[in-house]
Amino acid sequence: MDISLQQVGYLYGKDTPFEKRALQAVDVTIHSGSYTAIIGHTGSGKSTLLMHLNGLLKPSEGVVQIGDAKISAGTKTKGLKAIRRHVGIVFQFPEHQLFEETVEKDIMFGPMNFGVSEEESRRRAHELIGLLGLPADVALKSPFDLSGGQMRRVAIAGVLAFKPSVLVLDEPTAGLDPRGRKEIMELFHQLHIEENLTTILVTHSMEDAARYADNVVVMHDGSSVMSGTPEEVFGNEEKLSSYRLGLPRSVKFQRDIEKMIGRALPGLALTEEQLAKAIAHAATEVGDR
């Protein structure tokens, strides 16, 4: 499902003394099947933007197009549930949304709301418990008895359970340990490929954006200011730093080496693996000479 935002603006507390502009003239296009990372400094409007992607917020200005549905300021709230079936959002700290008596029931909440049968929901819940690396006996436990990391996984399963075709992730790994972080990011990437999902990742981590995304959108002060492939975006260090964003670690390392040896390495090392290859390549070239 293609998603596009045209000249979208949003004001919080419209017509009150607390009125605050969160988005201004945002133009973003997300193609079906792409993996888009949205990066930006704190307060740049990333989280507000993502709530427009399934009609939780209606734009104050402009139009949001999700598949065939168009959402603008005057759109009625009623038809939006149909959109939410296709666009799943994993919010920041999603474990705060858990409420059921058992893990199994909590995961089943989403699919049952969208009209999936009880047996099918239960089957999906058990499948997801396995997929997310949770122990099988967790299904009948209270979600509030789990560890923080396990609660996070249950909450993520609760969104995956209704099989959205677009998956929106708002810093899904914030507050997790490095290993849990990597596992979850790898899982999302695997799902992205296997289930042919459209994935939108809101993140502070330049490394995650560089490694997983094929399209990067930079937000600054409520506007979309840059977009393109990771190579294009992370290749432009000056522009990025003017938006108070840094480079991924591997790119920074590459730049440092280039300064040290006085010549450019081929390509842009978006991951540690690519960096190692580029260095090895340069080293053999030097060796050949």
Partner 1 sequence: MLEKMIFGRYIPGNSFVHRLDPRAKLSFVFLFIIAVFLANTAMTYAILVGFTLLVIFSSRIRLYFLINGLKPILFLIIFTLLMHLFFTKGGVLLFEWKFIKVYEEGLRQGIFISIRFLVLVLMTSVLTLTTSPISITDGMEDLLGPFKRFKLPVHELALMMSISLRFIPTLMDETDKIVKAQLARGSDISTGSIKQRIRAVIPLLVPLFVSAFKRAEDLAVAMEVRGYRGGEGRTRYRQLKWHWRDTMVMALFVVLVAILLLLRG
Q: Which residues would be at the binding site for partner 1 (CB under 8 A)?
A: 12-13, 15-18, 51, 54, 56, 77-78, 81, 84-85, 88-89, 91, 94, 96-99, 109-110, 113-114, 144, 158-159, 162
Nearer to partner 1, 13 or 287 (CB): 13
Tell me the closest approach of the beta carbon of residue 124 to partner 1, in angstroms.
Answer: 13
DSSP lists the bridge partners of residue 30 as 3
Closest to partner 1 by CB, 56 or 63: 56
Q: Which is nearer to partner 1, 84 or 220 (CB)?
A: 84
Instruction: Please state the closest distance from residue 25 (CB atom) to partner 1, in A.
Output: 23
Best CA proximity match to 85, nearest among 166, 180, 140: 166
**CB 111 → partner 1: shortest distance, Å?**
8
- Closest by CA to 30, choosing from 58, 53, 48, is 53
Nearer of residues 88 and 230 to partner 1, judged by Cβ: 88
Helix, strand, coil % over all residues of the chain, rounded to 5? 45, 20, 35
Q: What is the DSSP letter of 49?
A: H
Shortest distance (Å) from residue 176 CB to partner 1:
18
Structural element, H or E, at residue 12: strand 3-12
Q: Minimum distance from CB of 164 to partner 1 (Å)?
A: 9
> Least distance (Å) from partner 1 to the CB of residue 66?
13
Between 42 and 77, whose beta carbon lies closer to partner 1?
Answer: 77
Question: What does 73-106 look like in DSSP terms, one character per residue?
Answer: TT--STTHHHHHHHEEEE-SSGGGG--SSSHHHH
Which lies closer to partner 1 via its Cβ, residue 38 or residue 116?
A: 116
List phi, psi (to 5°) of 217. -115, 130
Q: Please answer whether residues 276 and 267 qualify as being in contact, where contact means their C-beta atoms are separated by less than 8 angstroms.
A: no
CA-nearest of 250, 269, 253 to 261 is 253
